[in-house]
A and B are shown apart, each in its own frame.
Chain A
Amino acid sequence: SYELTQSPSVSVSPGQTASITCSGDDLGHKYVCWYQQKPGQSPLLVIYEDNKRPSGIPERFSGSISGNTATLTISGTQAMDEADFYCQAWDNASLVFGGGTKLTVL
């Protein structure tokens, strides 16, 4: 079965840039989405189709993909951005999530 790999945790200082990566076979030929989940809340779509932001998502969230690795970048990270982030792709009639990355802002 298809797998997406994320680092378990990333730390960033307020105001700095956070990069969260997601890797998978042939990922460059699939659409990647990113979800943010804060404690006790439902996940929120922050990036879809690799690099598109839904309405209401701040411009500091951006997505990119190169080869087999997708990256979620948060510019000027704020304390309110601290959350778990999940990447997601579709493969062979199945929707797959990465294991999640805990972003700590300290």
Chain B
Amino acid sequence: QVQLVESGGGVVQPGGSLRLSCAASGFTFSTSGMHWVRQAPGKGLEWVGFIRYDGSTKYYAESVKGRFTISRDNSKNTLYLQMNSLRVEDTSVYYCVKGLLQELFVWGQGMLVTVSS
């Protein structure tokens, strides 16, 4: 079955960097679009960004544009989220999600990122 397992989360100071990884299995990763979605504690869902199956097209939310970068390694079935210049308000559970451009079909279990001094 489809599995998405995030890793790389933790505590980081404001202004710091962190890279999340998402290991995919159970489907053909190299032909699947992927999203990152986050959820601050006790809050609603917020889309972070999308990457096309071949990495040729990426979209980002305005709140992370210029600070976050989505990439993928299809040879390793892995999705990445590089987060730079982190802010306290970036504190969230980050979900890796398999989907089409407009639809989020399968979600990972999520990984907590805490930005705090």
Chain A interface (Cβ within 8 Å of chain B)? 1, 31, 33, 35, 37, 42-45, 48-49, 54, 84, 86, 88-90, 93-100
Chain B interface (Cβ within 8 Å of chain A)? 35, 37, 44-47, 50, 59, 61-62, 95, 101-110
Main secondary structure of the interface of B (DSSP, over half): strand
Q: Contact partner of A94 among B61, B105, B108, CB < 8 A?
A: B61
- Smallest beta-carbon distance A98→chain B, Å: 8
Rounded to whole angstroms, the CA-CA distance of A74 and B15 in the bound complex is 45
Q: Which residues of A lie under 8 Å from residue B62 when comparing CB positions?
A: 1, 94
Main secondary structure of the interface of A (DSSP, over half): strand
Contact A44 B107, CB 8 Å, known A86-B44, A90-B102: yes
Query: Is A95 in contact with B107, judged by CB distance below 8 angstroms?
Result: no
- Smallest beta-carbon distance A8→chain B, Å: 10
Q: Which residues of A lie under 8 Å from residue B35 when comparing CB positions?
A: 95
- List the 8 closest A-B pairs by CB distance, nearest first: A90-B102, A95-B47, A42-B107, A100-B44, A97-B45, A48-B103, A93-B59, A99-B44
